[in-house]
């Protein structure tokens, strides 16, 4: 009888871990994937999200093989890119970057691309891309100033986290809320189930569920 596969989450993001826990999945291993996230010349936002998710999964799969973890494990990676048209917004690291993002997003629509990659123990990769459209309210100078003071934007793609203060800026959204947070749950469950991961195991054993 074959062992059930283990799951390696290729991320240090507490948000992605929390989203997995929300659907009763507790990865056996957390191994962050560190890759250069600089867009290539002329690279489109959707391509960048897909490429980075794939690169992170490949890097973590390589680490897992070196440490002997990959024999019966799946590696799940994701990356989120915020864009206005073809323009890719940065993961804001300075107040000036965050301010520029807020001024650009104010009163207009933008897209959030979340790329996913799942690598099986045999090294085969499966990919998904979720495209979510969001429209922000028109932000006043006072609102932008107050938001910048919160520092919630620090390290966030596009300078905001939809699950935080910036959620109050959203006028309309079409797509996956969870993808914008960092991991689309519908696609995650389908990807894992397609590789034999027991996504329902903890559903059948409620005592194992986190936060219940």
Q: How many other CB atoms are found less than 10 A from the CB of residue 212?
A: 8
> Please, where are the H alpha helices in 68-140?
95-105
Place of tokens 């054993």: 205
pTM tops 0.85: yes
- The per-residue pLDDT for range 158-205, each reduced to its tens digit, is 999 999 999 999 999 999 999 999 999 999 999 999 998 988 877 777
Q: What is the pLDDT of residue 210?
A: 52
Q: Residue 209 has what pLDDT?
A: 61
Positions marked active-site: 79
Those residues with Cβ within 8 angstroms of residue 103's Cβ, 6 or more apart along the chain or in another chain? 139, 144
Residue 207 in this model has a pLDDT that exceeds 70: no
Cα dihedral 56/60/63/64 (nearest 10): -160
The whole-chain average pLDDT of the chain stands at 93
Locate the domains of the chain by residue range.
Answer: 6-208
> Stretch 43-50: mean pLDDT, rounded?
97
Locate the DSSP E strands across the chain: 6-9, 29-30, 73-84, 87-88, 109-119, 125-136, 170-174
CA-CA distance, 82 to 73, in Å (whole number)? 30
* Rounded Cα gap, residues 44 and 47, in angstroms: 5
Tokens found for residue 140: 């006043």
CATH architecture type of domain 6-208: Alpha-Beta Complex (3.90)
Lowest mean pLDDT among 121-130, 153-162, 201-210: 201-210
């Amino acid at each position: 009888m074959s062992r059930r596969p283990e799951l390696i989450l290729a991320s240090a993001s507490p948000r992605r871990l929390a989203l997995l826990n929300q659907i009763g999945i507790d990865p056996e291993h957390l191994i962050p994937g560190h890759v250069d996230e600089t867009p290539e010349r002329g690279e489109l936002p959707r391509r960048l999200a897909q490429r980075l998710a794939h690169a992170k999964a490949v890097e973590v799969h390589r680490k897992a093989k070196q440490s002997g973890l990959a024999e019966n494990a799946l590696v799940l990676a994701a990356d989120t890119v915020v864009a206005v048209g073809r323009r890719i917004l940065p993961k804001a690291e300075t107040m000036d970057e965050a301010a520029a993002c807020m001024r650009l997003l104010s009163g207009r629509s933008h897209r959030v691309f979340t790329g996913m990659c799942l690598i099986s123990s045999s090294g085969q990769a499966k990919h998904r891309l979720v495209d979510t459209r969001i429209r922000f309210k028109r932000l006043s100078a006072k609102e932008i100033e107050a938001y910048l003071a919160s520092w919630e934007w620090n390290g966030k793609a596009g300078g905001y986290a939809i699950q935080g203060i910036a959620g109050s800026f959203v006028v309309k959204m079409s797509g996956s809320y969870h993808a914008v947070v960092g991991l689309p749950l519908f696609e995650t469950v389908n990807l894992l189930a397609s590789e034999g991961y027991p996504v329902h195991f903890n559903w059948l054993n409620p005592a194992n569920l986190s936060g219940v």
